Structure 1
């Protein structure tokens, strides 16, 4: 019986080792503190977000991201959020918790000096408590990147073949400063959710298509601007106006 247990244990170790070699996953946590991940945090500025179980449209923009001088894994963040017509100022931190890279197998389009990577980070943002209706945002940001000759590069700028870990997404919650009640808070830019949601689907063209059931929760202008056919809108002036509104720098 003892010999059998030893055999099974050794077999499991062998399988685990073989799997690791096949996937060629490397821990990048110790190395990422030597890099500057500012541009990977700023990708959130092009995200689509929502707040609450009714998928109310949520905007976020980082106006300043600086690597901490005291903690090489931490970034100091300033910015603004927007829900409906309400704009809130916030400050906070992003702290990297994990980082890995993998070698992409069997893809001749990917040079040998390219690896796919992903880091996760905790986010803690505090909206101005003096502003009515403000709150706190906490959760986890996941961001894909490419490692090229030991240097991180944004996967939106440098893309080869079918890279894993692409995109940027945040999953967490917003908690009211006044009541202490929380709502789901998520934003997304490329890649996919790890948490099921009913707001949108990614089309074959890689674009985001909104579920029209939630149109009145802040999504009508977005759909008019980028997927007007969903609404049967063919007025070019109306579409251009909607696109201009989508590109407004509301945080200034």
Structure 2
């Protein structure tokens, strides 16, 4: 079964969707879209470091994404406007990563594969890494679900309940770094934020509870991966962008249906 590249690609896309869905819900609730974007852009610098030291892409991307996320978390509220800080760090990290890659001699690198993903080239080892990361992210979110939800909805209530919102922020930071590291092979640096945000945003109007929103977002993400890959195969289009296009169409379609139902009521 795993000898078929489309099967491996589909499983990889579903694995990323499962990792991104619950995390994407918190990104939407906390309005952290640019935070996810900045962390994803830093991944290119991680790719350059991994290739320089001739090691797997995953640990390098994970380390740099985690450093970026922790830096943003540390500097927030210390005299820097969030949107300005994220803009500076996101584009600087991407630029330094691209420049660092250009200095690599004797190494052939397909930048498009890292910018927009190369899901059709996913290997069995990549599948193990992607699903291992997805299980780790989902387990981390489930373990801290109640605390994360309370800290997201009301920080004062979280403090009154004996919780530390800053610690829960670090949990989200770690989960985000892991998701970026496993998703870079599937949708690439420039589209990771889209897979975090679009399925969760599409699920928001359908769900009555936070748990339902996470489950619906996972279903939308998995459907986007499957349909996007089929469309890419049929129409010979880039796989990563095709997945995001399907997610965007589902977002628009579900919102139109919701708008029509509210209007009819």
TM-score (normalised: structure 1): 0.24
Of structures 1 and 2, the larger Rg is shown by 1
TM-score (normalised: structure 2): 0.23
| Greater strand proportion | 1
| Greater helix proportion | 2
